[in-house]
Amino acid sequence: MIKFGTDGWRAIISDEFTFANVEKVAKAIALYLIEHKYNKRSLIIGYDPRFLADKFAEDVAGIMEGAGIDVFLTERDAPTPVVAWAVKDKKAAGAVMLTASHNPPEYCGIKFIPDYAGPAFESITAEIQQNSNREVDLPRPKKKGRIERFDPRERYLKYIESFVDPAIIQQAKLKVVVDPMYGCGRGYLDKLLQRLGCQTEEIHNYRDVLFGGRNPEPDEENLEELRTKVVETGADIGLALDGDADRFGVIDRGGKFYGANQTVPTVFDYLISDKGYTGSVVRSVGTSHMVDRIAALHGMKVYETPVGFKHIAKLMMEQNIVLGGEESGGLSIKGHIPEKDGILADLLIVEMLARRKASFSQIWRNQVAKLGPFLDQKINLRLEEKKKKALMTKLAQSPPATIAGLKIIKSNTLDGVKLILSDGSWVLCRPSGTEPLVRIYVESDKLQKLEAIVEAVRNLI
C-alpha cells in the first residue's frame, strides 16, 4: 500500500518504489489537478540525484503529458526549495519532486507541492494517497500536454540574493567551505557566495547515488570531512546541505558543529536585532526554547507546531511570521516561500558573520551570555510496537510527578508527549511512525542535569 508520511511517499527503490507505483502516484496527482481545475496551468517536475530519480521524473512527466498537462522538467537534479520557488516564479499549478531528502541512498520518494509553494497539507495528501491505491482512469484530454526542459538556477540565485546585503558580504571576504553532500545543492550556494566575493571551496560536488556511503543528512557524524577541510584550510565557516538542499548544517572555523537547535535561534535573533524584522515566530515541538527566550525579550508571540514543516508553513501563510524553524534543520523566513530552504539559511549565516565581524562560535557565546545556556540531546530507543503504544498512553494519561527530582508543571500532547519541568527543562517523547522507535528530545541548562534527565527517562521507559 502506498502511504504518505510527513512529507510525501518514500520507499526502497525496486522494492516498493517501482515505476509501476510511481505511475500510480503520478496518475493520482494528475487526477487531483484535473478535478480541482489546476490542469490549465503548467506543472513543475524536479528530482534529486538518487539512483533512477531522473528516470522516475521523466516517467511522471509522460503521465502528465498524456493527461493534457503542460510540464516544466528540470534539466538536471535540482533542490526542493528551488523547485518549490519555481512554482511561484512560473505561476504553476504546483510541482512534483522526486526525492527522499536526507534518507539513506536506497530510498527514493515523491511528493506534491501545491501552488502556494510549500508542503502539501494533509487534506491534499489524503486525497492523493487514496487515489494512488486504486485504479485511476484519467479523462482523455482534447490535446496532449507539452514537456519543456528548464534550468531554474540563475533566476533562483538572483532572487535569493535579495534577502541579504551583497556589499556587507563582499567587504568581509570570508573563506567558506561548502558541502552539498553529493546532493542537488551542487553549484548553488558556492556559486552565489563566489559572486558575493567569498573565497569558496566545494567538496563532494559531483553526483554520487550512494552519497559517499552515508545518509545525506547534515548532522555531526556525517560532516567529518567538512570539519577536516575547514580546519585544514583555515576557513571562516563550513556550510552543509542535505540531499535535496532543504536542510543545513554548520561547522565553525574551529571545527565545532552547530545543529539547528543552535542555528535556528541564532538566525532568529539576527533577523530581529540586525535586520529589523518584526512579527511572530513559529517552531516545531522539538525545537530549542531559546527561540522562546529571544521572542520574550522582544515581546513577540511564539507558535508551537507538531513535527513536519507543513504545520509551520500553514502558520507562515496565515500570520506575520519572522521565521519558521525546526530541530531537524529546516528554516524559512518572512518574504520567502513557506518551504524550508537550506541555501537561504546558509546564506543568512554568511551575512551574519560578515555584518557582526565574528565567528559563529563567538556569536553563539555572546548569545548564551545574554540568554543563558540551552543544552540539548536526542536519543532513539528501540521498543516493539505494543510497548511503544503502552508507553505513550501512560505518559499522556498518568505521567510521573517528577523527573530527575524536578517537578513536572505542564504537559502537552501536540505531537507525542512533552513534559515541561519546574526549572524550564523539558522532555519530549515521540513515537516513530515508521520504525519500532521512541524518539526522546531533552533540553536543559546544565550538562549534569541534562544527563540526569536522560537517564531518568531511560529508566522510566
What is the band of 388 on the pLDDT scale with cuts at 50, 70, 90?
confident
Q: Which residues pair with 249 in a beta bridge?
A: 240
Q: How far apart are CA 204 and CA 228, in angstroms?
A: 13
Architecture of the domain spanning 156-255: 3-Layer(aba) Sandwich (3.40)
What is the band of 435 on the pLDDT scale with cuts at 50, 70, 90?
low
Say whether domain 9-151 belongs to CATH 3.40.120.10: yes
For 123-136, write each residue's pLDDT tens digit: 999 999 999 999 99
Mean pLDDT for the chain overall: 95
CB 428 within 8 A of CB 286: yes
Architecture of the domain spanning 260-371: 3-Layer(aba) Sandwich (3.40)
For 324-348, write each residue's pLDDT tens digit: 999 999 999 999 999 999 999 999 9
Q: Tabulate helix, strand, coil % of the chain (nearest 5).
A: 40, 25, 40
Name the segment(s) of the chain with CATH classification 3.40.120.10. Answer: 9-151, 156-255, 260-371
Mean per-residue pLDDT, 126-151: 95
Global pTM value? 0.95
CB 211 within 8 A of CB 183: yes
Mean per-residue pLDDT, 289-317: 97
The highest-level CATH class for domain 375-460 is alpha beta
CB under 8 Å to 5, separation ≥6 — which residues?
433, 434
pLDDT given for residue 459 in this prediction: 87
- Residue 159: pLDDT over 90: yes
Name the segment(s) of the chain with CATH classification 3.30.310.50. Answer: 375-460
At 89 the three-state DSSP class reads: helix
Q: How far apart are CA 293 and CA 250, in angstroms?
A: 22
